[in-house]
Amino acid sequence: MNNKLTAYLQRIGYQGARRPDLPTLRALHRAHLYNIPYENLAIHCGGYLTVREDDIFQKLVVDGRGGWCYEMNGLLAWALRQVGFEVKLLASTANRQAASRTIEGNHLVLLVGLDQPYLADVGFGNGLLEPVPLIAGTYRQGFLDYHLRQDGERWWFQNHQYGGAGYDFTLDSFQLEDFAPQSHEQQTWPESGFVRATVCFRFNDQGYIALRGAVFSTITQDGVHEQVIKDAATYQQTLAERFDLHLADTDALWEKVWARHQLRLQAQGQS
């Protein structure tokens, strides 16, 4: 067992089998989501996100941070290959119908080969909890329903009822570095959703939690409960206690978050 894989498994709290089989795949997928949050905060703190494996490992494993799709799925793909899985990186396009400008390959997903192909994705924030077979149909995980359909060579993934739109993809294989242009554009284009808003997600046994700007949400089988965070101390506490994100200084980040929240309220005609 190499030291990097051991460090990754410790990071996600995984102590189970290390075999390239379906139970291991499901367990690793779930453990990753439970212990590494989805987050784009670095973009709003003056950082720059790369698609280099060493940088991703340093940030998510060594530094204890979360990441977005290229980092989250890039790291999982690396770890699965270390265990012995066959993994393909697929370029998908999220929110194709709703986006004002389509960036092809704006989302990375994984195809894992076992007795049949499985779609794996720990990088959509509030998407799949466990991999699903690449077969058209509806898949229930806990209280959440996901849908897969095929249209020619293109597959369409529809997220659950609380997660909004999904994404489409083909089975063409890519390398992680192939996503560098999309990664750059999504963290530098002023109209990118990743530039316009901060977001964090994390799954747990009851469902998942989300922090979009100043709004903290808990999503369970009982529905969605929202709470507005109104001060920097509570914001920092929420990041630390609910998402295990320990930033040294959140004051400047909070100022951006709260200013955007006020602008959003004004646009909605609220005080």
Sequence spans of domains, the chain: 3-185, 189-267
pTM of the model: 0.96
Q: Residue written as tokens 């784009």?
A: 40
Which residues are CB-contacts of 256 (< 8 A; sequence separation ≥ 6)?
44, 198
CA–CA dist 47, 55 (Å, integer):
12
Sheet architecture: strand order including 137-141:
132-133, 117-120, 107-113, 86-94, 167-174, 154-158, 144-151, 137-141
What's the pLDDT at 271? 55
Q: For residues 148 and 59, is the Cβ–Cβ distance under 8 A?
A: no
Q: Comparing C-alpha atoms, which of 83, 82, 42 is closest to residue 60?
A: 42
Task: Name the average pLDDT for the chain.
Answer: 95
Half-sphere exposure of 200 (CA within 13 A, CB side): 29
What's the pLDDT at 99? 56
Q: What percent of the chain has pLDDT over 70?
A: 98
Q: For residues 210 and 198, is the Cβ–Cβ distance under 8 A?
A: no
| 3-185 matches 189-267 in fold | yes
31: left (phi over 0), alpha (psi -120 to 50) or beta: alpha
Taking residues 37-51, what's their average pLDDT? 97
Query: Taking 60 as the threshold, does the pLDDT of residue 1 lie above it?
Result: no
CA–CA dist 112, 116 (Å, integer):
8
Query: Taking 60 as the threshold, does the pLDDT of residue 225 lie above it?
Result: yes
What's the pLDDT at 268? 86
Using DSSP's 3-state secondary structure scheme, residue 226 falls into strand
Taking residues 125-136, what's their average pLDDT? 98
Fold assignment, 3-185: Arylamine N-acetyltransferase fold (3.30.2140)
Q: What percent of the chain has pLDDT over 90?
A: 91
CATH class name, domain 189-267 = alpha beta
Query: Taking 80 as the threshold, does the pLDDT of residue 111 lie above it?
Result: yes
Q: For residues 208 and 200, is the Cβ–Cβ distance under 8 A?
A: no
What's the pLDDT at 12? 98
Using DSSP's 3-state secondary structure scheme, residue 140 falls into strand
